Amino acid sequence: TVYIESGAGVFWTFDLTKVADAPIVGSWKLAGEGSFRVGPTALDGGWFSPDTAIVTERACLMDDVFYFGADGTFDNVQGGSTWLETWQGVDAEVCGTPAAPHDGSADATYVYNAEAGTLTISGKGAHVGLPKAVNTGEISNGAAIPDEVTYVVEALPSDGSAITVYVESGSGVFWTFDLVK
């Protein structure tokens, strides 16, 4: 509480409360086994879902950070390596140096709309989970690299400990990503 005397016998009283950051603010990583999956419906991993062996093989992806700033900035923080696929210019799927524009160099922002249940990442190459999963299809199947991707937020508890988002990457192809802080 703040009291201000603005003149003789005139007092103003203000009760202040701290505004908490939205639960999405912070650093996130893929949650491990089953945390990135694809299937014919939202949240389904019927076509692909990583088991322990795949998570171990792709440790360079599992340590990638998806950072949401309180000011609306977004960063892909991949360190020296991430998981690369052949559409990114490598001969075989492998851990390697992040490839532009999916290398974290985008001047990216995000908008989390809790009411609509959406998360929009803006900035060419900026992404959550895997860079190939975009709204118009999979980049690995010829979809253009977009300037933004909109994800549906399936779950984000108020304590901000975990989030599940998905994107329909073309008709009937749903990529789901489970992230933890």
64-101 confidence digits (pLDDT tens): 999 999 999 999 999 999 999 999 999 999 999 999 99
Question: What's the structural domain count of the chain?
Answer: 1
**SS3 state at 53:** helix
Name the DSSP letter for residue 2: E
Q: What per-residue confidence (pLDDT) applies to 118? A: 97
Distance CA 35, CA 20 (A): 28
Give the Cβ contact number of residue 2 at 10 Å. 8
More confident residue, 123 or 159: 123
Instruction: Give strand pairing partners of 119.
Output: 112, 151
4 in a domain, yes or no? Answer: no
State the alpha helices, DSSP H only, in the chain. Answer: 52-57, 59-62
Distances in Å between the Cα of 31 and the Cα atoms of 51, 81, 115, 121 are 12, 18, 25, 20
Distance CA 120, CA 173 (A): 19
Q: What per-residue confidence (pLDDT) applies to 15? A: 84
83 in a domain, yes or no? Answer: yes
Q: What per-residue confidence (pLDDT) applies to 19? A: 64
Residue with tokens 């945390």: 35
Q: What per-residue confidence (pLDDT) applies to 180? A: 98
50 in a domain, yes or no? Answer: yes
In this prediction, residue 161 has a pLDDT band, given cuts at 50, 70 and 90, of very high
176 in a domain, yes or no? Answer: yes
8 in a domain, yes or no? Answer: no
Q: What per-residue confidence (pLDDT) applies to 135? A: 98
Give per-residue pLDDT as tens, 8-60: 888 888 887 766 678 899 999 999 999 999 999 999 999 999 999 999 999 99
Using alpha carbons, select from 149, 100, 156, 145 the residue that is nearest to residue 127: 149
The arithmetic mean of pLDDT across residues 92-119, rounded, is 96
**Is the Cβ–Cβ distance between 175 and 163 less than 8 Å?**
no
- Amino acid letter, 129: G
Q: What per-residue confidence (pLDDT) applies to 157? A: 87
The arithmetic mean of pLDDT across residues 122-137, rounded, is 98
Q: Which string of b and e fits 21-59 if b means at least 16 CB within 10 Å?
A: eebbbbebbbbeebbbbbbeeeeebeeebbeeebbeebe
169 in a domain, yes or no? Answer: yes
The enclosing domain of 32 has a CATH number of 2.40.128
Q: Is 179 exposed, middle or buried (0-12, 13-18, 19+ CB in 10 A)?
A: buried
Q: What per-residue confidence (pLDDT) applies to 63? A: 98
13 in a domain, yes or no? Answer: no
65 in a domain, yes or no? Answer: yes
Range of the domain at 130: 21-180
Least confident of 5-14, 84-93, 109-118, 171-180: 5-14
